[in-house]
Amino acid sequence: NEMIDLKPEDVYAQSTNFNRTQQSCQSFLEGFLPHSYYSLSIHIYQAKDDFLNAWDSGNGLQEKVAHLQQFDKEFERQEGEHQEIRNSLCAHLPYFREYPGKFLWVYSGDYYVCNESHDHSLHDDLSLHRDRVL
């Protein structure tokens, strides 16, 4: 294995405006270039410019979903079909237990993606729903 001699000025790192994403980026950089910890900077997207997190970008997506929730019968039917899964997620995931009114399918999908990417096991009751959520 050959080591690559990178300097901090050779590295460009960017992150979303979420603290946990910034912390993950910083942790990766610390492991990748431990000798350069204090001289590395992370470029952080402002919410309005963040193409990875369209939900919080202020592009009207939240308003469109709210409108669908109120007026679209197909949306209402599909939400009804998934109520059991939603109830299970709200019962087992701390964020939804604390803030059940802030339930979003994208956040519940995040639970699965993050746990699997870090090789953590899923809660037994929630592993049953993985494929339907994702």
pLDDT tens-digit readout, 28-70: 888 877 776 567 788 888 877 776 666 777 778 888 888 888 8
In sequence order, the 6+-apart residues with CB closer than 8 A to the CB of 89 are 96, 103, 108, 111, 126, 129, 133
pTM equals: 0.54
- Within 34-82, strands assigned E span 42-44
Residue 108 has a CB neighbour count (10 Å cut-off) of: 21
For 108-127, the pLDDT digits (tens) are 888 888 888 888 888 888 88
